[in-house]
Amino acid sequence: MLAIGLMSGTSRDGIDAALIRTDGEGIAESLAFHAMAYEDGFRMRLAETCQRAMAMDAPGFEPLIASVQEELTELHVQAVADLLGRSGRMAEEIGVIGFHGHTVAHKPDRGWTWQVGDGAALAGAFGITVVGDLRSADVAAGGQGAPLLPVYHQALAYDLAKPVAILNLGGVANVTFIGDEGALIAFDTGMASGLIDNWMQAEGNMPYDEGGLVAASGRVDAAVLGAMLDNPWFDAPPPKSIDREEFTIDPVRGLGLADGAATLTAFTAQSVARGIRLLPERPKAIFVAGGGRHNGTMMRMLEEATGIAVSSGDDLGWNGDSVEAEGFAYMAVRRLHGLPISFPGTTGVAAPMTGGVVFAPH
């Protein structure tokens, strides 16, 4: 069927919308992609929403969060409308929308995860069935609720030499390992671009370090980097996941702009390298999706830190910007067919299980 996937990630830069054709198993064809950037004002409100949600003991009503959820849903409606227009498709042709929403707090250790976004309103806007709230069932069953993309990574990598690793670099980084016999292991490795973006916005009046050029001109502060890596979470065995708000730029305050960017970029690379060492086998190659693959300094540091060839997924014909959104379209179709989207090796759930709430249009 034709399926749309929507992703608002931890980078908080906007909405990725992808259209694919899939049966939810081995067949997937990318048909269209649209990225819609958030305006600065909404990005600030979204960041404040995440901070407030992280301070709460459990999901509940909070005026700002409720307001941002309504605004976020309206922006997703606009993104779907734009994607349909660009692809030349009618709403009636679409079988399902996979709606991730936006994670405002992720606390699986306390038994909850919170993605804002009104799936019923999105379904009603287009008359298309929506699958949303894709993480909560996994967390309720004792899983981490993340990462969820591995099932789609496995489909993308079906013809690659194994073992192989697929690394997603958004605001947070996560790795998917696919072994010779089909073993599937995945977990968050730590930060990707989240802290770098925060640093550039706070100290450089820039949204991000484009191409990693600022970091390339700086020097890594080994003492600061060592202190940041001195966290037992990095050595904890998978499955594991982490919220973007668990780390801050405080350790690099006092460094110059370039040195801070270089140190935070090295922090990402070294975190990934620590994660790779937790895998049962050394991958033959690492293929990267997500916005971080555009950061040349990060890609170079990743290869140096891991000692493994690191390439963009685009080299395989993927659109590295759309992989996450495509993955949620793929998972939505799997949900309709009752197929699992999370597994013991990816989220730590006891048995493979499906997930997501189905919102049928009225």
| Contact indicator for 163, 157 with CB cutoff of 8 Å | no
Tell me the pLDDT of the chain (362 aa) as tens digits. 999 999 998 888 999 999 999 999 987 799 999 999 999 999 999 999 999 999 999 999 999 999 999 999 999 999 999 999 999 999 999 999 999 999 999 999 999 999 999 999 999 999 999 999 999 999 999 999 999 999 999 999 999 999 999 999 998 999 999 998 889 999 999 999 999 999 999 999 999 999 999 999 999 999 999 999 999 999 999 999 988 888 999 999 999 999 999 999 999 999 999 999 999 999 999 999 999 999 999 999 999 999 999 999 999 999 999 999 999 999 999 999 999 999 999 999 999 999 999 999 97
In angstroms, what CA-CA distances link 318 with 8, 160, 224, 289, 347? 19, 13, 36, 9, 25
Query: How are beta strands 14-22 and 28-37 bridged, if at all?
Result: antiparallel
Residue ranges, CATH 3.30.420.40, the chain: 2-144+322-359, 150-316
**What's domain 2-144+322-359's architecture?**
2-Layer Sandwich (3.30)
Q: Report H helices in 19-118.
A: 40-54, 63-87
With a CB cutoff of 8 Å and minimum separation 6, the contacts of 129 are 95, 96, 97, 123, 336, 358, 359, 360, 361
| pLDDT at res. 236 | 95
State CA 84 to chain mean position distance. Answer: 23
Q: How many CB atoms lie within 10 A of CB 270?
A: 23
126-154 burial by CB neighbour count: b if 16+ within 10 A, else e?
bebbbbbbbbbbbbebebbbbbbbbbbbb
Q: Which superfamily is assigned to 150-316 in CATH? A: ATPase, nucleotide binding domain (3.30.420.40)
From start to end of 39-181, where are the E strands? 94-107, 112-116, 130-132, 164-169, 172-178
